[in-house]
Amino acid sequence: MLTTHLLAIFLISAIVSHSKALRFPRELYNLSSNQIFIVDNLSRPPSSSASPTPLLSPAVSSPLVPALFIIGDSTVDCGNNNYLGTFARADRPPYGRDFDTHLPTGRFCNGRIPVDYLALHLGLPFVPSYLGQTGELEDMLHGVNYASAAAGIIFSSGSELGQHISLTHQIQQFSDTYQQFVLSLGEDVAIDLISSSVLYVSIGINDYIHYYLRNVSNVQNLYLPWGFNQFLASTMRQEIKNLYNTNVQRFVVMGLPPIGCAPYYLQRYKSNNGECVEEINDMIMEFNFFMRYMTDELLHELPDAGIIFCDVFQGSMDIIRNHKSYGFESTANACCGLGKYNGWMMCMSPQMACRNASDHIWWDQFHPTDAVNAILADNVWSSRHTEMCYPMNLEKMVFSQSLNNLV
């Protein structure tokens, strides 16, 4: 049987499920039947500009976990940077044009980001940004997104763009949320809520884009790529242990994408026919190798922890190499931008965007389209298109740990 504390969590969640901050976007509800609308297609995500098609029932009848908490960078920022003084913002069109509301939300995408899709798989509403919610208990019970564009593992990564919430600060914000749960719900219920929820971590790419590749503080003379990768992975290892000590037991740790294939670096390194920059991708692959090895170590070191590592590089390269079978036409050009590969200048106005983002892999200089995010999220959840999560996907982790609670 589920523990009394865990049942209490779901009861509290049900009571506050109509809280404004936790509702699905208005367009996702059929008010007459309470059905949830999500885009679903067995072969690949449909056009991101298409209208969502209704399912006969919600993705799941009830939440599979109490909450989803998110720490990261622009890959999963859903609006925190809207409240900061920074150039790293996505709060103006054409960002969000194919989102459920067709408005910019702060997501660095034309539509949804991966954690939006994962929230639906888990039976949860879209997770609100930490700076965008009111701070009330009911606004946080189903999860909080602390991610901030330009943030990195290194505190100063991305600082040339302005303000951002560093990894260390995001973890402190998560700890503050946990303390609020303790004060409001009691320590036992708060521990059960946190330990039964999922923490999704997606960070590190800005340590290359805005730090190592720019040779900030002469870092390339201090660290060879191998040493720099090892430094980042060891830092992440310690932060995951710190989070575990805050009673987090379910982790999804995301690897880094192939930014050597991103339009920005294709134009900067003068790629002739859209070939990826191998020297950059080699660094990313090596970092992901260290992170996967670190995951194996932590699984042996931390009792009762469920940690999965998802190799975004592997999943993304499968899409690029087999783009035709996924339905993509353009593998090198960003949908929105300016210059060769639309990678010279960032996406700044609707006039700079292509008409149909769903046949593009890249939305802007660095970020994938909604269609790619849907594929990657499906891989994280169920390995639907390719195996990229180790030692298991999120669906297996959630259900295996749920079975362990049925004693």
Which single residue is written with the structure tokens 């330009």? Answer: 150
Which H or E run includes 68? strand 68-72
pLDDT at 19 over 70: no
pLDDT band, very low/low/confident/very high, at 20 (cuts 50, 70, 90): very low
User: 43: buried, middle or exposed (CB in 10 Å: 19+, 13-18, 0-12)?
Assistant: exposed
Active site residue 296: no
Cβ neighbors of 318 (< 8 A, separation 6 or more) are 385, 386, 388
Is residue 164 within 8 A of residue 72, CB to CB? The reply is no
Express each pLDDT in 63-122 by its tens digit.
999 999 999 999 999 999 999 999 999 999 999 999 999 999 999 999 999 999 999 999
Q: DSSP state, 362?
A: E
pLDDT band, very low/low/confident/very high, at 42 (cuts 50, 70, 90): very low
What pLDDT shows up at residue 324?
A: 97
What pLDDT shows up at residue 402?
A: 63
pLDDT at 162 over 50: yes
How confident is the model over 248-252, as a mean pLDDT? 97
For 48-52, 62-66, 170-174, 221-225, which range has the lowest pLDDT when averaged over its residues?
A: 48-52
What pLDDT shows up at residue 403?
A: 59
Express each pLDDT in 374-390 by its tens digit.
999 999 999 999 999 99
What the chain holds in terms of domains, given with CATH numbers, is 68-259+278-321+371-405 (3.40.50)
Q: Quick check: helix, strand or coil at residue 70? A: strand
| 185 vs 18, more confident | 185
Cβ neighbors of 190 (< 8 A, separation 6 or more) are 178, 181, 182
pTM of the model: 0.86
CA distance 59 to 257: 27
pLDDT at 18 over 60: no
Is residue 111 within 8 A of residue 369, CB to CB? The reply is yes
CA distance 199 to 194: 9
Express each pLDDT in 220-246 by its tens digit.
999 999 999 999 999 999 999 999 999
Active site residue 349: no
Phi, psi at 214, each rounded to 5°: -90, -5
> Which of 5, 164, 367, 385 is labelled catalytic?
367
- For 47, 157, 376, the CA distances from 370, given in Å and listed in that order, are 9, 26, 10
Per residue, the 3-state secondary structure of 112-169, as one string, reads CCHHHHHHHHCCCCCCCECCCCCCCHHHCCCCCECCCCCCCCCCCCCHHHECCCCHHH
> Which of 74, 166, 197, 271 is labelled catalytic?
74
Q: How open is the CA angle 379-385-387, to the nearest 5 degrees?
A: 60
pLDDT at 1 over 70: no
> Which of 73, 364, 370, 378 is labelled catalytic?
364
pLDDT band, very low/low/confident/very high, at 34 (cuts 50, 70, 90): very low
Active site residue 74: yes
What pLDDT shows up at residue 103?
A: 97
Q: Quick check: helix, strand or coil at residue 299? A: helix
Tokens of 269: 């390194």
What pLDDT shows up at residue 400?
A: 85
